[in-house]
Chain A
Amino acid sequence: MLVPLILTFIYSFQDRALVLKGWVGFQNYINLFKDPYFHRALKNTFTFVIILVPVVVIVTFLVALQVSPLRQQYRVFFRAAFYLPVVTSGVVNSMVWLWLLNTDYGLLNFIVTSLGMEPVMWLASSNTLYYLIFVVFTFNFGTPFIIYVAAMGNIPTVLLEVARIDGAKKRTITWKIVFPLLKPVTFFLFVTQTIFVFMVFVVIQLLTDGGPARTTETIIYMLYKTAFRFLEFGRASAMGVILLFIILSISILQKVLVGKDDTTY
């Protein structure tokens, strides 16, 4: 792990295609910050993170809240159903979505045209980024859901019983007792989901290849293209270093804002 990390730092100061051409200091970084495509990739990446991470965490919390009190066999069913996309290969999931979103014979457009509307070019429109966010949401749902259900099962029932006896309503119990007790879990999910979303790759590669017109290109995808399609390893390494610092900064920020674990039962 350490060797590639160090090499990436070193490469980021080099003009390196397939072989070393020379040392360029901070030029790779300067070029990146001047590059409008990099700006767009940054914007797309943050759009993914800002929309997807809170939505995944909140929706999985709310769904877990409904599933958690159910009888064992129902909980097993929902856990299996929601976790299935997680254990399935990302490539397989993406191929399924590729079929679902196909303009000519996809299921979604079959429904759309059955309702008398014009078919939608899901993967070739100015809104494609948002459709992709939804697709990634379906991939990401399983793990936080399982964790929340497990964590809710660990909350001592006596706490909830006492609250009910004291006359607390369901909403109050949810937001004043359950949610605060799950703060460490929520922090963990925020961090892991943020990292996961920053690293979203397969979906973009298989569904859009960063298109249309590079509007769905994220930093990690641009990094891949720069390194392995255009063979600009120095420039790609600089992107990797920037991405590392972004993720590190956000993780520290999240820790400061949310993360102090003072939960006691």
Chain B
Amino acid sequence: MKRSAKILMAAAVFFLAAGMLFAAGQQEAEAGGDVTISFWHFPQVIGVKGFEDQSKEYGQFWAYLAEEFSAMDNGIKVETELIPWTGGFERFNVAIAGGNPPTIGADYLGRTPIYYASGMATPANEVVPSLVDDTDASIVDIYTLSDGNVHALPAFSWSQGQMVVNVGLLKKYGWTGPVLNGPGQPFSFDEMTAFLEKAKKIVPSNIFPTVWSCGDEQGDYLWMNIFTAYGYKPFDADGNVASDVSGMIKGYNLIKELHEKGLTNRGVASMKGNEGNDVFSSGLSVLNRSVSKSMITEIETRINEGTLDFEFDLMVVPYPTPDGDYGYSALGPTAFIYLTKDQKELDAAAAWTEFVMQEKYWPNLVAGTGQLLLQKRYADLDLYTGDPLMEVTGLIKANTSAMDFGLTDPNYQKRREAMAEAGQKIFTGMASVEDAVKALHDQFKALNKE
């Protein structure tokens, strides 16, 4: 026999044997009723109270829960995967487009409608109906589609728009008297303007005068806070763009006026990026603009490094409104989306979701994200005493209703882009406020037709 023929025969035998082994394995798995599901999540959970050793790094706690779940010997194996923020969205998209998505994706609710529109997802109310019932009703209401389905299960929420004033820095430069209306107290746009002007006068020009930051990661939420405070409603009852844009025009005009007076972060003009989103923060404010946990981490790091040259005395206040009340809540939950139609996998996914949301793990897991619990059964838990940012977050949530940004709309990302574009036109002088908002409104209307 020729050498090449021998090689071919050996290869054929190898593949035949491999195929038989694979088939046998499959049969065994099916016979035993075992199922493996995948759970993709972003780096959010760390330092879980009571499980400090199991949550030192991102991803570790979910993996720990998966092990605990598998140890119950219920025939379900969960494979967790940490998806980095950078490129994570694309990772989800490519997996779905390639027909190989995770069984459960824990992603920001504003992106899940796109996955749902792919036709691969099963509504959360079909997978985990009791958990949907247990979720804050105002959130469920916002994320329910016109067909009555909740496309993803809201899990935990990002914080709402608020500001952090470093009173310590102001005092260093001679501030006397009260700062606004005090911690957690709402205030008006006029009071804010007066405060900013006074602060600017005493703080040296090379330091950003306001040293304010935001408790909300999503910069455009903050803009929406301002617009809606002026009465703008992004969407009508049918989910279409609302025709009254006067609130938006007032909001842009306010920020433009503050910007021209030098009272905002200069980067606000970009309405994007790390500082452009935030109206009143800058790198020099030192405060991290993110949620409580990372902000405190940032401060601790600076203290340990000895790079602080002023005392931190933080005061958290909600975002202002024209009349000095609490305005709207802007909630951006992380949600579990079930990207399968296979009933066996869906049952396993439901079991896994119920397992992780039990009291033994869930409240402290959510606290480990620095975000808010959304489950009714945990409504009376007091997780955030002593954390000023989260205390005020809770205060805002208690006093306001959640805002509908149209997050169930698959075109939501396009709306965000369009809003940023309008803001950039205004702040770079490419268009007047009225023209930019009119063009934006036309874009919204066109998106409604898609």
Contact = CB atoms under 8 A, between A and B. Distances in A.
Contact of B89 (A19, A209, A212, A228): A228
Contact of B428 (A105, A121, A233): A121
Given A104-B265, A121-B269, A211-B272, A230 B414 contact: yes
A229 B115 contact: no
A212 B269 contact: yes
A18 B96 contact: yes
Contacts of B271: 211
A213 B413 contact: no
Task: Classify the interface of chain A: helix, strand, loop or mixed.
Answer: loop
B421 A18 contact: no
A126 B424 CA distance: 10
Given A121-B428, A214-B421, 17 more contacts: A17-B114, A18-B96, A19-B118, A104-B265, A104-B266, A105-B282, A121-B270, A124-B269, A124-B270, A124-B276, A208-B270, A209-B273, A211-B270, A211-B272, A212-B425, A212-B427, A215-B430
Contacts of A212: 269-270, 424-425, 427-428, 430
A265 B449 CA distance: 66
A220 to B, nearest CB: 15
A123 interface: yes
A213 B424 CA distance: 5
Most buried by A among B115, B120, B208, B267: B267
A103 B284 CA distance: 12
Interface centre among B269, B270, B275 (most CB of A within 10 A): B270
A102 interface: yes
A85 interface: no
B93 A211 contact: no
Contacts of B430: 126, 212-213, 215
A233 B115 CA distance: 14
Interface string A214-256: 1100000000010011110100000000000000000000000
Contacts of A121: 266-267, 269-270, 428
A125 interface: yes
Interface of B: 89-90, 93, 96-97, 114-115, 117-120, 208, 265-267, 269-273, 275-276, 282-284, 413-414, 417, 420-422, 424-425, 427-431
A102 B110 CA distance: 29
Report the interface size class on chain A: 20 to 34
A213 B414 contact: no
Contacts of B89: 228-229
Given A212-B425, A212-B430, A230-B414, A19 B97 contact: yes
A105 B285 CA distance: 11
Contact of B93 (A103, A104, A228): A228
Q: SS class of chain B's interface: helix, strand, loop or mixed?
A: helix
B284 A104 contact: yes
14 contacts: A18-B93, A18-B97, A19-B119, A103-B269, A104-B265, A104-B266, A105-B284, A121-B267, A208-B270, A212-B269, A212-B427, A228-B93, A229-B417, A231-B93
Contacts of B273: 209
B341 to A, nearest CB: 13
Q: Residue among A17, A18, A103, A225 with the most chain B CB within 10 A?
A: A18
A32 to B, nearest CB: 16
Nearest to B114: A231
Nearest to A103: B266
A9 B430 CA distance: 37
A119 interface: yes
Nearest to A212: B424
Contacts of A230: 413-414
Contacts of B117: 17-18
Task: Please give me the 5 A-B residue pairs with the lowest Cβ-Cβ distance, nearest first.
Answer: A212-B424, A18-B118, A124-B269, A103-B266, A213-B424
Interface string A28-63: 000000000000000000000000000000000000
B75 to A, nearest CB: 30
Contacts of A18: 93, 96-97, 114-115, 117-118, 120
B276 A104 contact: no
Nearest to B270: A124
Contacts of B265: 104
Interface in A1-31: 17-19
Nearest to B426: A213
Contacts of A211: 270-272, 420-421, 424
Given A18-B93, A19-B97, A126 B284 contact: no
Given A18-B118, A125-B428, A211-B424, A105 B283 contact: yes
B114 A103 contact: no
Contact of A124 (B118, B417, B427): B427
A19 B276 CA distance: 34
Contact of A102 (B269, B272, B283): B283
Contacts of A17: 114, 117-118
